[in-house]
Amino acid sequence: MHRRELLIAAAAAAALTLLPGEAQAAWLRSAAATGQPAVLSAAQRATLAALADAIIPRTDTPSATDVGVVAWIDVIAADYYTDADRLALTTGLDAIDAQARAIGGQPLASLRGDTLAVVMTALDTPYDRNAVAARGYARVKGLVVHGYFTSERVQRDVLKTEIMPGRFDGAADMPARNGGRDE
């Protein structure tokens, strides 16, 4: 089984339980948002976009950035995170970028091919799981996967989720109760 197939299977099993009102509201806000990001700097957004597309790249399905995960994470951080959580997210992204620079000599957003693969492997299998970059990567990876699989485009086009099956008919006949006897 390939990584994408595993992610799709896991998401399909849990998709509807992972649709809290906050995720839906954040998707609506991120779709309507224009202008500057709410929490993340331009460099952090570039790092996040590179991470998101390395975690869920474009294949025959859209990538994480294709569905707007970066804007969604920014809204989640701005509207639902505490100050401590926001700081952990931004500090983690900065530490990830610093680790990418140490390994690959460039910002994460500029890395490609084998160098990007080496950095992603280092992030996915850290020597010290308590390191800021490792904790930041775990947080970002969870957000990317959650955001991706709760996006309308993935629910509709990839998972083929039918939220309201059938149709609503307000004038539908109702069966009589108690076999038609009145009480």
Residue 179 lies inside a defined structural domain of this protein: no
Instruction: Tell me how far CA of residue 121 lies from CA of 36, 137, 142, in angstroms.
Output: 32, 11, 16
178 within a domain of the structure (yes/no): no
pLDDT in tens, 139-173: 999 999 999 999 989 988 999 887 666 666 667 67
| Segment 33-76, tens digit of pLDDT | 555 557 999 999 999 999 999 999 999 999 999 999 999 999 89
> Residue 31 and residue 71: Cα distance in Å, rounded?
8
Assigned domain for 180 exists: no
**Domain annotation covers residue 68:** yes
At 69 the pLDDT is 95
Residue 175 lies in a domain: no
Angle at 29 between CA 26 and CA 33, to 5 degrees: 135
Domain presence at residue 173: no
The count of structural domains within the chain is 1
Enter the pTM of the model: 0.73
Expressed as residue numbers, the domain containing 116 is 3-161
DSSP class per residue in 106-155: S-GGG--HHHHHHHHHHHHS-S-TTSHHHHHHHHHHHHHHHHHHHSHHII
SS3 42: helix
Answer yes or no: is 166 within a domain.
no
**Looking at the domain assignment, is residue 57 inside a domain?**
yes
Give the chain's mean pLDDT.
83
